[in-house]
């Protein structure tokens, strides 16, 4: 099991876990032989971003690409929302 400090766990979950939940996560990680971050990801909403034309999005004030996100958070789920343009056929 890979160790993770409380601040990283809070950032990953999006909320500070209470002691009992933290112990539950540790027990699950040890039983599964998985990193704690991977187990914690099961209990949080996916992060969301709207990438610009260069594929860069901002999350909590930091700029990321899909690749830099995966390097920083290998187990965290990411949902990207792409902007689309819609043709207005009323003018044709």
Range of the domain at 6: 1-44
Contact (Cβ atoms closer than 8 angstroms) between residue 46 and residue 53: no
* Model confidence band, residue 51 (pLDDT cutoffs 50, 70, 90): very high
For residue range 24-37, list pLDDT tens digits in order: 999 999 999 999 99
Q: Is residue 92 in some structural domain? A: no
**Overall domain count for the chain:** 2
Domain-embedded: residue 7: yes
Give the pLDDT of residue 84: 82
My answer on whether 55 and 74 are in the same domain is yes
Residues 38 and 49 in one domain: no
CB atoms within 10 A of CB 46: 11
Residue predicted with more confidence, 12 or 2: 12
- Is there a single domain that holds both residue 62 and residue 32? no
Is residue 13 within 8 Å of 20, Cβ to Cβ? no
3-state class (DSSP) for residue 9: helix
What's the whole-model pTM score? 0.73
Same domain, 20 and 50: no
DSSP 89: G
């Amino acid at each position: 099991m890979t160790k993770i400090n409380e601040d990283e766990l809070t950032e990953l979950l999006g909320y500070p876990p209470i002691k009992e939940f933290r112990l539950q996560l540790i027990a699950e990680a040890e039983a599964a032989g998985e990193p704690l971050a991977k187990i914690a990801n099961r209990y949080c909403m996916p992060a969301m971003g709207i990438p610009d034309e260069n594929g860069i999005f901002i999350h909590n004030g930091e700029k990321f690409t899909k690749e830099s996100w995966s390097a920083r958070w290998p187990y965290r789920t990411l949902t990207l929302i792409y902007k689309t343009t819609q043709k207005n056929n009323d003018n044709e």
